[in-house]
Structure 1
Amino acid sequence: MNLLELFARTLDVTLPVFAMVFVGLGLKRLKWIDSAFVSTASALVFKATLPTLIFLSLIKADLSVALDVSLMLFFAVATLGQFLFSWGWARYRVAPQDRGIYVQGAFRGNCGIVGLALAAGMYGNYGLSAGSLLLGVVIVMYNALSVIVLAFYQPGQSTDWRSLLKHVAKNPLIISVFAALPFTALSIPLPSWVITSGNYFASLTLPLALICIGATLSVSSMRDSSQVALGASLMKMVTLPVLSTVAAWLVGFSGEQLGLLFLFFASPTAAASFVMVKAIGGNVALAANIIAITTLMASVTVTLGVFALRLLGWI
Structure 2
Amino acid sequence: MPRIHRISHVEVVMVQNFWICINAVIPLMIYLIIGMLVKRVGLINDDEVHRFNRLVFIVLFPPMMFENLYGAKLSTALSPRLIVFALVFLLSYIALSIPVVQKLEKKPETRGAMIQAMYRSNFVLMGLPIAINICGAGNVSKTAILVTIIVPTYNVLAVIILEYYRGGRASISKMLRKIATNPIILGAVAAGIAISLNITVPKSIDRVVYSLSECTTPMAMILLGASFNIKSVKSGRRNLSISIIAKLIVLPAIGLPIAMLLGFRDVEFVSLIVMMAAPCSVSSYTMAESMGSDGELAGNAVIFTTGFSILTIFGWLFLFKNMGMF
Give the TM-score range, shorter chain: 0.7 to 0.9
Deviations 1:278-303 (A, max 9, x none): 55xxx876666555543443343334
What's the offset of the Cα at 1:243? 0.8
What is the SS of the residue equivalent to 1:62? coil
Deviates more, 1:242-251 or 1:256-265: 256-265
Deviates more, 1:217-226 or 1:97-106: 97-106
Deviations 1:187-240 (A, max 9, x none): 543334444444333332333333434443334432444434323321222112
Task: Flag the 1:237–1:161 CA change in 2: closer, same or farther, 3 A.
Answer: farther
Larger radius of gyration: 2
Partner of 1:11: 18
One-letter identity of the residue aligned with 1:97: K
Instruction: State how far apart, in whole Å, the 2-side matches of 1:221 and 1:278 are.
Output: 17
Unaligned runs of 5+ in 1: none
Q: Does 1:34 align with 2:51?
A: no
Q: Does 1:268 align with 2:275?
A: no
Instruction: State how far apart, in whole Å, the 2-side matches of 1:184 and 1:60 are.
Output: 7
Select 1:245's aligned residue among 241, 248, 256.
Answer: 256
Instruction: State how far apart, in whole Å, the 2-side matches of 1:68 and 1:217 are.
Output: 40
Q: Does 1:234 align with 2:245?
A: yes
Partner of 1:97: 106
Task: Flag the 1:75–1:220 CA change in 2: closer, same or farther, 3 A.
Answer: same
Partner of 2:148: 132
Partner of 1:59: 70
What's the offset of the Cα at 1:132? 3.4
Instruction: State how far apart, in whole Å, the 2-side matches of 1:292 and 1:265 are.
Output: 17
Q: Does 1:294 align with 2:301?
A: no
Instruction: State how far apart, in whole Å, the 2-side matches of 1:12 and 1:217 are.
Output: 26
Task: Flag the 1:196–1:84 CA change in 2: closer, same or farther, 3 A.
Answer: closer
What is the SS of the residue equivalent to 2:186? helix
Partner of 1:144: 160
What is the SS of the residue equivalent to 2:325? coil
Deviations 1:68-97 (A, max 9, x none): 5544443332233223333454577x3x62
Q: Does 1:115 align with 2:132?
A: no
Instruction: State how far apart, in whole Å, the 2-side matches of 1:185 and 1:220 are.
Output: 48
Over the aligned positions, Cα root-mean-square deviation in angstroms equals 4.0
Instruction: State how far apart, in whole Å, the 2-side matches of 1:104 and 1:147 are.
Output: 11
Instruction: State how far apart, in whole Å, the 1-side matches of 2:299 and 2:69 are.
Output: 33
Partner of 1:170: 181
Task: Flag the 1:250–1:182 CA change in 2: closer, same or farther, 3 A.
Answer: farther
Task: Flag the 1:203–1:219 CA change in 2: closer, same or farther, 3 A.
Answer: same
Instruction: State how far apart, in whole Å, the 1-side matches of 2:108 and 2:52 are.
Output: 32
Partner of 1:180: 191
Instruction: State how far apart, in whole Å, the 2-side matches of 1:84 and 1:50 are.
Output: 26
Counterpart contact for 1:236–1:268, Cα < 8 Å: yes
Deviations 1:149-205 (A, max 9, x none): x48xx8xx5463223322221233333333223544565433344444443333323
What is the SS of the residue equivalent to 1:63? coil
Task: Flag the 1:100–1:186 CA change in 2: closer, same or farther, 3 A.
Answer: closer
Task: Count the aligned residue pairs.
Answer: 304
Deviates more, 1:230-239 or 1:259-268: 259-268
| TM superposition score normalised by structure 1 | 0.73
Deviations 1:43-82 (A, max 9, x none): 4443344432443343332121376554444333223322
Instruction: State how far apart, in whole Å, the 1-side matches of 2:183 and 2:115 are.
Output: 24
Partner of 2:316: 305
Counterpart contact for 1:7–1:307, Cα < 8 Å: yes
Counterpart contact for 2:70–2:192, Cα < 8 Å: yes
Task: Flag the 1:262–1:161 CA change in 2: closer, same or farther, 3 A.
Answer: farther
One-letter identity of the residue aligned with 1:34: I
One-letter identity of the residue aligned with 1:137: T
